[in-house]
Amino acid sequence: MSLDLVLRAAGLTDVGKSRPSNEDVVLVRSDLDLYVVCDGAGGHRSGEVASALAARSLANYFGATIRRTHEQPEFDRFGIPGGARRLSAAILKANQDVIEIAKSTPEHKGMGTTVVAACFSPRSGLMHVGHVGDSRCYRMRAGHLELLTQDHSLLTDVLEQRPELDDTVLERLPKNVVTRALGIDPKLRVSLRSYPVVAGDRYLLCSDGLSGMLSAQDIAAVLAWKGEAEGIAQDLVTRANAAGGRDNIAVLVIDCPQGPEADSVPPPPPGVLAQLREAESRADPELLILGIEELESLDADSASDDLLHALETLLGKRK
């Protein structure tokens, strides 16, 4: 059953004031309820290829799975929204496509791209957002700005493992290092979340060319305006350039003038809930921690230590 979700979106990119070419891509596919921002990187203009390829791959996957999506229930037997799984699969397919082109074409070796993508499910009133890298998704609701994604960056990874580090050490970290990107690793991890959509919501997808130039307060002030999505997007780009424009800028604004009024996630169908209860009744109540039996055999140079060793080397080189 559709919740009469109405969306209006507009996006644009800008080369900025310092870059010789534009490697950011914006994709607006209202017919697929799909909205994407990609920020490419790589020598010999390969970043342009990676970002354009990723965006096209996402659109192709969504186009090819329309019929299957309509035939399947909104929630799977585990209570997971099908739209979320579809978006994750699309991003993973895009990663494979970028890797394949990078391997087959010498001039594109080492290219990659970040991605932040949002898709909307009118049947459930949910918005699914998936991202890899430091391109972001914000939500403006009732005058409150919220960041819905967390950067996959060196700073974030360090804070997850060493939150007690002094700020003077953190300030020395390079600000432009991402730890995940499409085109780098076949075993990519996609961060994915689902949120209920409410009438009056405004969403912003952007590259770090915007978020790195404008503060959250500046972004919130512009998103709070009552203008159309096109005007809001243009004003954000103008302000990022006025603040220095040190990188390419990608902005995509999505407005929801009509949708659910209550901020609540529609529950899975009764049949799904019954299956979940039955599965829980058969489950072993003991907590199992994956890999716990191997803890005693780990040496000091565990996988978690790799980042710290790299960090020490990096900071040593930058002294």
pLDDT digits (tens, 9 = 90+) for 101-116: 999 888 888 899 999 9
In a domain, 1, yes or no: no
Distance CA 62, CA 193 (A): 18
Question: Poorest-confidence range of 69-73, 236-240, 278-282?
Answer: 278-282
Q: Which amino acid is at 144?
A: H
For range 51-69, the mean pLDDT: 96
* Kind plus residue range of the DSSP H or E element containing 112: strand 112-121
- pLDDT beyond 70 at 80: yes
- pLDDT beyond 60 at 271: no
Structure-block tokens of residue 236: 């954000």
pLDDT value of position 266: 57
For range 178-195, the mean pLDDT: 94
Query: Cβ distance 98 to 54 under 8 Å?
Result: yes
Structure-block tokens of residue 127: 């918005």
- What is the 3-class SS of 246-259, one letter each residue? CCCEEEEEEEEEEC
Give the pLDDT band (50/70/90) at residue 1.
very low
Q: Which residues pair with 118 in a beta bridge?
A: 35, 129
- pLDDT beyond 90 at 28: yes
- What is the 3-class SS of 227-276, one letter each residue? CCHHHHHHHHHHHHHHCCCCCCEEEEEEEEEECCCCCCCCCCCHHHHHHH
pLDDT value of position 175: 74
CA quadruple 230, 234, 237, 239: dihedral positive or negative? negative
157 vs 309: which has the higher pLDDT? 157
In a domain, 80, yes or no: yes
Distance CA 104, CA 81 (A): 36
- Counted domains in the chain: 1
Q: What is the CATH number of the domain that holds 155?
A: 3.60.40.10
Share of the chain above pLDDT 70, in %: 80
Share of the chain above pLDDT 90, in %: 61
Place of tokens 């890298």: 133
Mean pLDDT estimate for the chain:
86
Cross-sheet strand order for the sheet of 191-196: 24-29, 34-41, 112-121, 126-132, 191-196
- pLDDT beyond 80 at 272: no
Instruction: Please name which of 112, 100, 73, 89 lies closest in space to residue 34, comparing C-alpha atoms.
Output: 89
For range 153-182, the mean pLDDT: 87
For range 2-25, the mean pLDDT: 92
pLDDT value of position 292: 46
Distance CA 64, CA 42 (A): 29
In a domain, 99, yes or no: yes
Name the residue range of residue 245's domain: 6-317
pLDDT value of position 107: 83
Give the pLDDT band (50/70/90) at residue 124.
confident
